[in-house]
Amino acid sequence: MRTVIAGGHGKIALRLEELLAGRGDDVAGLIRDPAQADDLAAAGAQAVVCDLESASVDEVAAHLDGADAAVFAAGAGPGSGAARKETVDRDAAIRFADAAERAGVRRFVVVSAMRVDQQPPADMDPVFAAYLRAKGAADADVRARDGLDWTILRPGRLTDDAPTGHVRLEGSTGRAEVPRADVAAVLLALLDEPRTAGMTLELISGGTPVAEAVAAAAAGGGAG
């Protein structure tokens, strides 16, 4: 299988690249900075320099040509202002979805966030509120598409702790932490489970092995 990951140098993306490459899959990561290419190579991934903020849909689609799946794991990141939440977390996600459809890549997985379907409270930090609105708009756009077999994953608060291999994966979990390495493992399992297409799932640490949690979610039950 060939998978193309937007935001290929992100912490979750690098872990997912290692998992995909480790089982013999072909994986490419889209990056803005050519200096990041060595890190992707170390993870077993092909680095593709492509700025999703400025590239055309056709340019992005060319990088997706021949792929079996696409994963959007990009983000403006901490320290960026409200404007880049819109150009990356919203617009780049929509552009990547447009490109996947144009390239004929149906399997499409999005790394999103919790609470993005809710109106941010008035006293929330305005930049974080802009982030939530941007992610919510991107998710809504993806969920409206018939041309993609999409799954949206909404992890809780991310940590760099060692993976536990046990999670809670449901339509609604409540807020809690989850290691990035476990998020990557769930993404891998979601890519392999076509029955999760059309699902929006929340993810936190829990008591169920990753494979079992994804199988339960695919069957419509969720697991914790």
Catalytic amino acids?
131
Strand pairing report for 26-31 and 46-49:
parallel
- The alpha-carbon radius of gyration of the chain (Å, integer) is 16
Rounded distance between C-alpha atoms, residue 54 and residue 115, angstroms? 28
- Scan for tokens 């379907």, then name that residue: 117
Q: Measured between alpha carbons, how far is 27 from 175 in angstroms, rounded to an integer?
A: 31
Q: Which is nearest to 194 in space by CA: 173, 212, 221, 215?
A: 215
